[in-house]
Amino acid sequence: MTEQQTSAPYYLEGHLSPVPDETDATGLEVVGTLPAELDGRYLRNGPNPLAGQDGGHWFAGHGMIHGVRLRDGRAEWYRNRWVRTRKLEGAPFVRDDFTLDLAATPANTHVVRHGEKLLALCETGLPYRLTPELDTVGPEDFGGRLRTGMTAHPKEDPVSGELHFFGYGFTAPYLTHHRLSADGRLLESREVRVPGPTMMHDFALTERHVIWLDLPVVFDLALVGSGMPYRWDEGYGARLGVMERTGSAEVTWYAIDPCYVFHIGNAHEDADGRIVLDAVRYAPESFAALWSRVGGAADPAAAAAATGGGALHRWTLSPADGSVREERLDDRAVEFPTHDDARTGRAHRYLWTVSDDAVVKYDMRTGAARERALGAGDAPGEAVFVRAAGAHGEDEGWLLSLVSDRAAGPARLVVLNAADLSLQAEVRLPRHVPAGFHGSWIPEEPRG
């Protein structure tokens, strides 16, 4: 056998290598000055298979939450916990009678708080409710009303507080839109008609519309049991859909060039009623190389070299004449776009992204980009924006990024000034933290 064939898959090595246990540490070292205003928990989710396990794909590992508690300029603790799902206990997602166990999800993609509930998310199944200390309460189906999976990328309207999300399925209904009240009651579920089952990872919200991404990465029954059962299907086509946020589930579709989008930056309606959508776009060849790499390609170095990655793009959809315009905004390979959550569905000036070793800030008004390079051995995670109290500017606040070490050394939580990307502080963590997916800043709720 060749050396390539005997080595571990890419997603089990280096900065992606899982940790074998749960730990707690207190009184963490802080370099620099943590803003005293940061009173809460930074939480981040990601895949972490049990020791000796290999799910066949990076996306398939069990969910693990890593948390850092900040208060009064101190880093009080770090802890990590597996999300104790039915999948972790060994339950199959597809039962013997061919029905789905929506609680047998890895819950490994995101962690958010809505209303009083802290939820670990993964789009193939139900969310799992957690305590503030990261213990698992159990699956959450909102009083029995949620009968599909829940996307890992729900969108909370900053005015109404409603949470919009969707579930997709391997059998009809392939796509369902859901809406939660600000206090967490499931208000509405609507089937959205699409031709077949696809891997729809994200979507967008504007003040009046939901924006769908119906793209050519399709479910393939023949691939079940081999990691992630999806493949590129050029014949499926690629299109963006515009649907009213409530009421009718009719969708106006706009054909676009074949591509894939994992993550939306934001979307809004401009003064002329056009829909403006910013997202990280993968060309077909870039998606193929990435999918091979995170799926355990025999030669991950070759797969990495073959892709330029995803790049920031903008689509402008015109209901007046049915046209769509696509623009590439930058040549950098970036991912995990974030924005000020107070601007969700509204015109935004700034987006923050990460590249292989840097955090990148985009000014969408001027087209300028600013980059903060980290160390050559650093793998920065998604930069979560935390607005400063009383802020007037859209970039007044901080960015929190959990930075993994590519040699599997100890990680650190980096705090940057969101305006100029200057380093504010970093929290030294006591162990390796594998690179993961998405996180949230969970501010401490006032006592009363």
Residues in binding site for Fe cation: 153, 201, 263, 438
3-state DSSP call for residue 305?
Answer: helix
Q: Which long-range contacts (CB under 8 A, 24 or more apart) does 213-222 make?
A: 213/240, 213/241, 213/261, 213/264, 213/279, 214/238, 214/239, 214/240, 214/241, 214/253, 215/239, 215/258, 215/259, 215/260, 215/261, 216/258, 216/260, 217/260, 217/287, 219/170, 221/170
Q: What does the block give as tokens for 13?
A: 């090595």
Q: What does the block give as tokens for 409?
A: 């050394």
Q: Which residues pair with 304 in a beta bridge?
A: none
For 232: left if phi > 0, alpha if psi spans -120 to 50, otherwise beta; the answer is beta
CA separation, residue 227 to residues 100, 170, 387, 434, 439 (Å): 17, 15, 38, 19, 24
Task: Give CA–CA dist 144/183, Å, rounded.
Answer: 16
Torsion of CA 340, 341, 343, 344, to 10 degrees: 130
Q: Which residues are annotated as a binding site?
A: 153, 201, 263, 438
Q: What does the block give as tokens for 207?
A: 């003040």
Other beta carbons within 10 Å of 389: 8
Biggest CA pair distance of the chain: 65
For residues 296 and 10, the answer to whether their CB atoms sit within 8 Å is yes
Q: What does the block give as tokens for 285?
A: 């060849």
Nearest to 203 by CA among 160, 245, 250: 245
| Sign of the CA dihedral running 438, 342, 133, 103 | negative
The answer, yes or no, to whether the previous bond of 132 is cis (omega within 30 of 0) is no
Q: What does the block give as tokens for 278?
A: 């910013």
CA separation, residue 377 to residues 40, 56, 200 (Å): 29, 26, 32
Nearest to 434 by CA among 274, 294, 236, 340: 294
Environment class of 164 (CB within 10 Å of its CB; exposed 0-12, middle 13-18, buried 19+)? buried
**What's the distance, CA 175 to chain centroid?**
19
